[in-house]
Amino acid sequence: MIKHFLNFEWKQFFRSSYWQKSIALNILMGFLALYFMLTFLVLGISIYPILKKQFPESDPLIMVNGFLFYWFLGDLVMRFFMQKLPVLNIKPLLILPLKRSSILNYVLGKSAISFFNFLPLFAIIPFGVILIFEDYNTTTSLIWMLLMYIFTLIINFLNFIIEAKSAETELSFLPIIAIASGLFALNHFEIISISTALGNAVNAIISNPILIIIPILVLVGLYAMNYAELKKKLYVDGSLKAKADVATTTDLAWTRRFGDIAPFLQLDLKLLWRNKRPRSSLFIVVIGLFYGLAFYPNPTFQNLTPMIVFVGIFVTGIFMINFGQFIPAWDSGYYKLLMSQNIKYKQYLNSKYSLMTISAVLMFVLSIPYVYFGWKILAIHFAAMVYNIGINSHVLLYGGSFNRKKIDLTQRAAFNYQGTGAVQWIIGFPLLLIPILFFYIPYKFINFEAGVITLIVLGGIGIVFHQKIMNFITKQYLNSKHKMISAFDQNN
Amino acid sequence: MIKSTELSKKYGDVTVLNIPSLEIPKGQSFGLVGNNGAGKTTYFNLLLDLIKPTTGKVLNNEIQVNKSEDWKPFTAAFIDESFLIGYLTPEEYFYFIGELRGMNKADIDTFLSQFKEIFNDEIIGKKKYLRDLSKGNQKKAGIVAALIGNPEVVILDEPFANLDPTTQIRLKKLLKDLTVKNKTTLLVSSHDLGHVTEVCERIVVLDKGVIVKDLETSEETLKELETYFSV
């Protein structure tokens, strides 16, 4: 039986049009995986010598154990956003003559061999091997390695339980954030020192190997919990059925003042709010807003004026770039409707443009408090906003006419590259980097004001010729209309 | 009203549609039948300029559909679920389409009241998004949306599939009224010979992209079609 399951898995992976179509994307993912593996490997190899050198009096193993808490917490949070129990694929298996228990064991067992569980091994094994060479007791090292892997699996199965529970309560990622930050706070403010407790526990186990039975029991318990939880839901009206949300109707009457683009604007706002994938681009906006805080408080940064342009474009344009990149793929699910309805293409595109403009202005207004770090920042943010509205938004719309990738709106966003084609990657960098160049040249040869004015003038030109540019862009969309329709018609 | 000349569509070497000439006069209810792969949906997609013809052209009220967008104001269609916007509630969807066709909320509410029977209390006011409705109810919503704003040309691909028997009967009556009262040009395709002979005054049979029969509906039409397809 397992043979068939593995065979399906293999076919599912290699026959998905995903794999066949976007080799570039797979190479990118491959590099990312390689990067993480190397990082962990370097970590595993270097941590012992580094700790030995920095803290010659302490035992590196004990120190590492003291930090395990943070690793586990980080691992748990990361998994929550990126790892998912693949239950939906088993629907066709239900009516076949298979025992439910073997389906369940297969689904749960499969999750144990995911990339997330292999990654830590790249750090665990080198560190453990070094321990052996450094004259630690061989049993101690082996038990430590085994224990770390058991913990990895515990996190694996714990994550699915948290995911299942938060899905039931409709709170999406709030519980995990609350739990993680709660634990972190308890530990950080030394109300309960969990990291010390965990460290002591690990130390106790490696010095007394029989105690390893405790984490093994925890693991078995979690597996059983997952098993029971899944078993309850293994019906087509259970978790196999996509969840129906309760619809909330909103009027959005204020959009009326935008005239004939109002219906599209309303549609876009609903699109953003009611679908998982675009909704997360709203959350990214919040992150983007605080992005400046990572740089501005640092005094050395104040001298790197061109870098402020980068942050400015980023802060005022983060929504624009995130949303604009996938025009018109956001509407790919019902593109045929839009193309056969009584719609002028230009109106449709203008609505997207307006949304991007509004976002840029709003982000600028919200970023005004950065003036605390100097008026130059405010001036550059303003210039960046004008540049984004005049140039970047048009570039994004133009780039969209090359978009041939469907987006399934119900999929989640983190590490979901659905809809991204090579063009989207290529377009991303110039949006952020070219304005720096436009600023830097006059800044270098004349002065700061000249750089700011250059950006504003360039953006201004884009705004003045908006109608002309839109006519050109509309023509591009009309030319590629049929190609887009047929591309959006294909399922990934 | 709709005139196709030398219309053909090829994918590679395979010709999926080849219609030298077909004219559908204004106000006619026109039925398209044929087995899977006969080219029914391809033909409708060509009428709506959703795919490019390999040769020939389609004129909708003297407007060539792939040259100008001016046929859109008086043409409406429901081909498949991809004509629905999944994250809207049915009401919002109707209002959106209404707005595109120059009708305000009140107009739409009045318009929708005549479909109360067809909706059977399962569509309006249910606090559900279109993506969460059953296939049959999605179809009802799509068909009704295609009738918004009294379009002169209505194109429906397989309107009877997935509908319950009661709705099928109501829909047949509705479609018949449409051509009689409003002079709407109606194009439907169907696999159900009974339905299509009941609704349409003219029936065209497609086979592998070619017109093999073009019949004026009469008492004998259903028999004739059944004999043709039972081979």
Angle at A282 between CA A277 and CA A286, to 5 degrees: 135
Q: For an interface test with A, which of B50, B58, B128, B130 has the most A Cβ atoms less than 10 Å from its Cβ? A: B50
Q: What is the pLDDT of residue B151?
A: 92
Res. A42: pLDDT tops 60: yes
Distance CA A385, CA A387 (A): 5
Residue of higher predicted confidence among B220 and A169: B220
Res. A261: pLDDT tops 90: no
Nearest to A334 among B52, B83, B132 (CB): B83
SS in 3 state form for chain A? CHHHHHHHHHHHHHHCHHHHHCHHHHHHHHHHHHHHHHHHHHHHHHHHHHHHHHCCCCCHHHHHHHHHHHHHHHHHHHHHHHCCCCCHHHHHHCCCCCCHHHHHHHHHHHHHCCHHHHCCHHHHHHHHHHHHHCCCCHHHHHHHHHHHHHHHHHHHHHHHHHHHHHHHHCCCCHHHHHHHHHHHHHHHCCCCCHHHHHHHHHHHHHHCHHHHHHHHHHHHHHHHHHHHHHHHHCCCCCCCCCCCCCCCCCCCHHHHHHHHHHHHHHHHHHHHHHCHHHHHHHHHHHHHHCHHHHCCCCHHHHHCHHHHHHHHHHHHHHHHHHHHCCCCHHHHHHHHHHHHCCCCHHHHHHHHHHHHHHHHHHHHHHCHHHHHHCHHHHHHHHHHHHHHHHHHHHHHHHHHCCCCCCCCCCCCCCCCCCCCCHHHHHHHHHHHHHHHHHHHHHHHHCCHHHHHHHHHHHHHHHHHCHHHHHHHHHHHHHHCHHHHHHHHHCCC
Which residue of A lies nearest to B67 if distances are taken between CA atoms? Answer: A478
Q: What is the pLDDT of residue A107?
A: 80
Distance CA B124, CA B127 (A): 8
Helices (runs of H) and strands (runs of E) counted in chain B: 8, 10
The two structure tokens encoding residue A403? 């978009």
Res. B108: pLDDT tops 50: yes
Res. A336: pLDDT tops 70: yes
Residue of higher predicted confidence among A189 and A215: A215
Q: What is the pLDDT of residue A238?
A: 57
Nearest to B23 by CA among B4, B50, B42, B47: B4
Decide: A120 and A79 in contact? Cβ < 8 Å: no
Q: What is the pLDDT of residue A372?
A: 87
pLDDT of A122-133, one tens digit each?
A: 888 998 888 888
Q: What is the pLDDT of residue B200?
A: 93
Other Cβ atoms less than 10 A from the Cβ of A183: the count is 17
What does each C-alpha distance from A278 to A281, A285, A325, A332, A490 come to in angstroms?
A: 5, 11, 12, 13, 20
Res. B10: pLDDT tops 60: yes
Task: Please identify which residue in the block is written with the tokens 């009738």.
Answer: B147
Cβ neighbours for B61, distance < 8 A, ≥ 6 positions apart: B1, B2, B71, B74, B152, B153
Task: Indicate the range of A134-148, A401-415, B27-41, B86-100 predicted with least confidence.
Answer: A401-415
Q: What is the pLDDT of residue A199?
A: 86
pLDDT of B141-196, one tens digit each?
A: 999 999 998 899 999 999 998 899 999 999 999 999 888 888 899 999 999 999 99
**Which band of pLDDT confidence, cut at 50, 70 and 90, is reported for residue A239?**
low
pLDDT of A49-63, one tens digit each?
A: 888 888 888 888 888
Please give, rounded to a whole number of angstroms, the shortest distance from the CA of B71 to a CA of chain A.
Answer: 8
pLDDT of A152-171, one tens digit each?
A: 999 999 888 887 777 666 56
Res. B18: pLDDT tops 60: yes
Q: Which residues pair with B76 in a beta bridge?
A: B154
How would you list the strands of the sheet with B55-60, edge to edge?
A: B14-24, B2-11, B55-60, B63-64
Res. B133: pLDDT tops 60: yes
Q: What is the pLDDT of residue A340?
A: 87
Q: What is the pLDDT of residue A245?
A: 63
**Residue B69: strand, helix, or coil:** coil
Selected residues 332-371 of chain A with any CB under 8 Å from a CB in chain B? 333-337, 339-345
Is the confidence metric ipTM above 0.90 for this complex? no
Q: What is the pLDDT of residue B207?
A: 92
Distance CA A203, CA A99 (A): 42
pLDDT of A339-379, one tens digit each?
A: 888 888 888 899 899 999 999 999 999 999 988 888 888 99
Nearest to B79 among A248, A262, A336 (CB): A336
Res. B31: pLDDT tops 50: yes
Please state the rounded mean pLDDT for residues A410-424: 51
Please give, rounded to a whole number of angstroms, the shortest distance from the CA of A269 to a CA of chain B.
Answer: 11
**Which band of pLDDT confidence, cut at 50, 70 and 90, is reported for residue A282?**
confident
Interface touch A267/B100, C-beta < 8 Å: no
What does each C-alpha distance from A254 to A258, A259, A263, B98 come to in angstroms?
A: 8, 11, 11, 18
Interface touch A341/B100, C-beta < 8 Å: yes
Res. A413: pLDDT tops 50: no
**Residue B226: strand, helix, or coil:** helix
Q: What is the pLDDT of residue B8?
A: 93
Distance CA B53, CA B40 (A): 14
Which residue of B lies nearest to A278 if distances are taken between CA atoms? Answer: B87
Residues of A with Cβ-Cβ distance to B88 under 8 angstroms: 267, 270
Interface touch A341/B127, C-beta < 8 Å: no
Q: For an interface test with B, which of A236, A246, A336, A341 has the most B Cβ atoms less than 10 Å from its Cβ? A: A341
Q: Which residues pair with B22 in a beta bridge?
A: B4
Decide: A345 and A476 in contact? Cβ < 8 Å: no
Interface touch B86/A341, C-beta < 8 Å: no
Distance CA A347, CA A344 (A): 5
The two structure tokens encoding residue A479? 């030319």
Res. A37: pLDDT tops 70: yes
Q: What is the pLDDT of residue A415?
A: 45
What does each C-alpha distance from B231 to A246, B16, B33, B206 come to in angstroms?
A: 50, 22, 15, 15
Selected residues 264-323 of chain A with any CB under 8 Å from a CB in chain B? 266-267, 270-271, 274-275
> What does pTM read for this prediction?
0.72
